[in-house]
Chain A
Amino acid sequence: MLNIILPVLLFAALGLAVIGAVRRMHMWRRGRPARVDLLAGLLAMPRRYMVDLHHVVARDKYMANTHVATAGGFVLAALLAILVHGLGLHNRILGYALLVATALMFVGALFVFKRRLNPPARLSKGPWMRLPKSLLAFSLSFFILTLPVAGLLPQDFGGWLLATLLGVGVLWGVAELFFGMTWGGPMKHAFAGALHLAWHRRAERFGGGRSTGLMPLDLDDRSAPLGVEKPKDFTWNQLLGFDACVQCGKCEAACPAYAAGQPLNPKKLIQDMVVGLAGGTDAHFAGSPYPGKPVGEHGGNPHQPIVDGLVDADTLWSCTTCRACVEECPMMIEHVDAIVDMRRFLTLEKGATPNNGAQVLDNLIATDNPGGFAPGGRMNWAADLNLDLMRDKPSADVLFWVGDGAFDMRNQRTLRAFVKVLKAAGVDFAVLGLEERDSGDVARRLGDEATFQALARRNIRTLGQYRFKRIVTCDPHSFHVLKNEYGAFGGEYMVQHHSTYMAELIDQGALALNADTGGSVTYHDPCYLGRYNGEYEAPRAVLRALGIEVKEMQRSGFRSRCCGGGGGAPITDIPGKQRIPDMRMDDIRETGAERVAVGCPQCTAMLEGVVEPRPLIKDIAELVAEALIEPIVPAKAPSRAAPEVMV
């Protein structure tokens, strides 16, 4: 009896799965075209899955091992079950193999089950609570069914009752694991996830690479939408990426805006995009809502505007673009890209940048700096420093990119400290002076791609007139934009953060330093230096050279918590229950350090905005400048040959 039912069940479920897959692919294809090498992607997929994705998952050993057992066992069991029970190949070796596979899967499923007994808040409930049981039903049913094939039990073992039970178990199992995979069940993540890895929009991220620069909008193509208004305005592989989400909530746990009670939850956002691409409401979402926004009041479809239907605008403006969600996501989904795409539409088409956004953008257009300061005052901070201007020099080893911090009195102290360090090391450097403009970072992250591109093009034209070996800046935002986002417009430079450059100078022995004596220090990793550019080591090396033993925060390195200053968040200023810098200051206080070393003008401003008493905030350049042994070492010739290029 089962010999007839099993193949029918298996192939019916597979057939339905194929129909579901075609239907789902059709939904993705509502998106705009994207340039992806389909075949190469598919070929690269197994490696991306087993190596790159596993690296992310393996940060949580329990889940990594559980997943290897369950998923590995399932894939093997499914293939063998089709051979053995579907096609009737009752081979004893195949039988044993299937037994091993189902046993492996069963053990994995037990751990999934255990995890779900008391799930952490970040995990989605709902259908996801059913999944471990479905996994157990599938693996157990096929295990028992296979025992006779392996010759461990007689063929007609168990009689009608067991046969019926096993039939039901198989039905449940294949319904969840084959059919459910393409019809929107929890197992959708396997199907969509595999294809998402194959056709990821940032293929450079695999194989240990890094791709964090925002992708340019083609402003000359009048037919292309300016950003994303409706779900169908995403590229098809972005839609596919949303569908890959496993709702593990790692992003939610890492998101500073969510923790601050601002109306953003990256997991919910991705699930809302899934609702958008398939059509419907968010009533079935079984995870944590956006803080302060009940679930079930929003809905949409691919052809309806997202904002004020599916998602409220303040959700999009809460993001600090700190990339913690992207860093944590085991499916390598690109949350920040999606948020900026939707912001672009709001700014470029609707003119709906909240709070001070419009004014900041107007200032950038009219004065090349977000504060609206007279452009002529850009070099006032260095009036007494006799800095060389690029315009007066044929070439320099180092072009010191000052950044808009030049207008901020706090940051001017950092800039002056760094100049002191450069002079002490005898570096041949120059600045652009009044020719420098805002890098365009904040405009781009507020969605104003037009102003960003205008600033970028003019900066690139200015930089093109001069010869220099590298650009060094104290601002990780300028650093990131110059290094990763100007390339698309023809500006390729070697760019370094001042911490990296100072680490190099110290390595070469160009700086004579005393030991730091100011007390204990912790270090706050800026998002745009760390997660965006992978520079965790150089600032710590500089601090070590000062004899400082960094008292690390629990959330440091790639898990560093944002200061709240990125992505134009202080400008759009979406209210929450608490402030992000206050939470970060609590992290800092926990270490008991008397000072916090920073490497970013935004972080400095945000952390110094926390009410006293609190640890002192010191830029790394300030710490180094304070420890310099004066007078300047005369042995070093002023025009040292540039050290070889190191990236």
Chain B
Amino acid sequence: MTIATVALVSIGAHPASGRARRAEQDARAVELGLQLAGDNLHVLHAGNPHEPALRAYLGMGLEELHVLEQAHGADALPVLRDYIREAGVQVVLAGSQAETGEGSGMLPYLLAEQLGWPLVVGVAQVESIHNGVALVLQGLPRGQRRRLKVRLPFMATVDNAAPKARQSAYGPATRGVVDAEVVEVIVDELSTVGVFQPARPRPKRLKVIRAKSAADRMKAATAKATGGSGQILKGLSSEEGAQAILKLLIEEGVVR
């Protein structure tokens, strides 16, 4: 079995009510997948196949949604990795971060690492796929776009720069088939050992603007963040570049 394009979806939660829904970014991944592969898009979820909110993805016009059936709290990573590896997938699309559970945003990175694939984050558009190379547009802050060439197979995450998900319609949502597949349950160590606690918003440094006129305030509010202490290195060999990066990481205490 060969599946070209896969969109990974999760169960979301509405920010105001907490009620289960299709996750905003995952729905955008499905939208991107539908624009890319049409009816050949393979939508995959690891978890409970009986969750009604899954039908909201079917309502986007999918005939089928594949579920790797897992209990709550099981580790989705190994089953997704095995499934994708065995199916000969070329492109995997996913939202950047889940709205429920850990919501760490780590899954795409870990999955890409284990598959040994490149990962492109914040994809806004897949422009073309030719001869095993995809041309994608990556969304950057302030509406900027960066065009990247990526070798297939690759994984991509989407955020709010990607096209808005189409409306979920009741008819297709009720008719669509949820195809559940029983897989080995792998307990997620962290979820059994760790303790969940609500996230605390990180304190934010107040930006004091001393502006005299409205124009100044506008300028201050919309000004690009300036690095200040950064330096631009040009014309270096990859070794020297890597050295520079490593030096910075050590300075910042990321690598010890």
Contacts and interface: CB of A to CB of B under 8 A. Distances in A.
B83 interface: no
A64 interface: no
Given A351-B61, A351-B166, A366 B19 contact: yes
B81 interface: no
B16 A351 contact: no
B16 A375 contact: yes
A349 B16 contact: no
Q: In the complex, which range does the number of interface residues on chain A fall in?
A: 20 to 34
Nearest to A377: B16
Contact of A353 (B61, B167, B171): B167
Given A366-B19, A367-B19, A351 B169 contact: yes
B213 interface: no
19 contacts: A226-B170, A348-B169, A348-B170, A349-B170, A351-B166, A351-B167, A351-B168, A351-B169, A351-B172, A352-B169, A358-B167, A358-B168, A361-B167, A362-B21, A366-B21, A367-B14, A367-B17, A449-B170, A450-B170
A372 B21 contact: no
Q: In the complex, which range does the number of interface residues on chain B fall in?
A: 10 to 19
B122 interface: no
Interface in A406-457: 448-451
Interface in B140-196: 166-172, 174
Contact of B171 (A348, A368, A372, A374): A348
Interface of B: 14, 16-17, 19, 21, 59-61, 166-172, 174
A222 B17 CA distance: 31
A347 B170 CA distance: 8
Dominant SS among interface residues on chain A: helix
Contacts of B59: 351
Contacts of A373: 16
A350 B14 contact: no
A508 B170 CA distance: 49
Given A362-B21, A366-B19, A367-B14, A352 B171 contact: no
Contacts of A450: 170
A76 interface: no
A150 interface: no
Contact of B16 (A226, A350, A367): A367
A374 B169 CA distance: 24
Contacts of B16: 366-367, 372-375
Candidate in B59, B61, B171, B172 with the most chain A CB atoms within 10 angstroms? B171
A446 to B, nearest CB: 11
A365 interface: yes
A226 B21 contact: no
Contact of B169 (A347, A366, A368, A375): A347
A353 B170 CA distance: 12
Dominant SS among interface residues on chain B: loop
Nearest to A226: B171
A351 B21 contact: no
Given A349-B170, A349-B171, 16 more contacts: A222-B174, A347-B167, A349-B169, A351-B59, A351-B166, A351-B169, A352-B169, A358-B167, A358-B168, A361-B167, A362-B168, A366-B17, A367-B17, A372-B16, A373-B16, A374-B17
Contacts of A372: 14, 16
Contacts of B166: 351, 358
B167 A352 contact: yes
Interface in A188-213: none
A219 to B, nearest CB: 8
Candidate in B16, B59, B61 with the most chain A CB atoms within 10 angstroms? B16
Interface string A339-358: 00000000111111100011
A365 B170 CA distance: 12
B43 to A, nearest CB: 16
Nearest to B168: A351
A253 B167 CA distance: 35
A353 B169 CA distance: 9
A-B residue pairs, 9 tightest by C-beta: A351-B169, A351-B167, A358-B167, A366-B14, A374-B16, A349-B171, A450-B170, A348-B170, A367-B17
A374 B60 CA distance: 25
Contacts of A361: 167
A372 B17 CA distance: 8
Contacts of A352: 167, 169
B198 to A, nearest CB: 16
A372 to B, nearest CB: 6
A358 B17 CA distance: 18
A449 B61 CA distance: 18
Candidate in B19, B60, B167, B174 with the most chain A CB atoms within 10 angstroms? B167
Interface string A209-235: 000000000000010001000000000
Contacts of B172: 349, 351
A448 B170 contact: yes
Given A349-B172, A351-B59, A351-B60, A375 B17 contact: yes
A627 B16 CA distance: 39
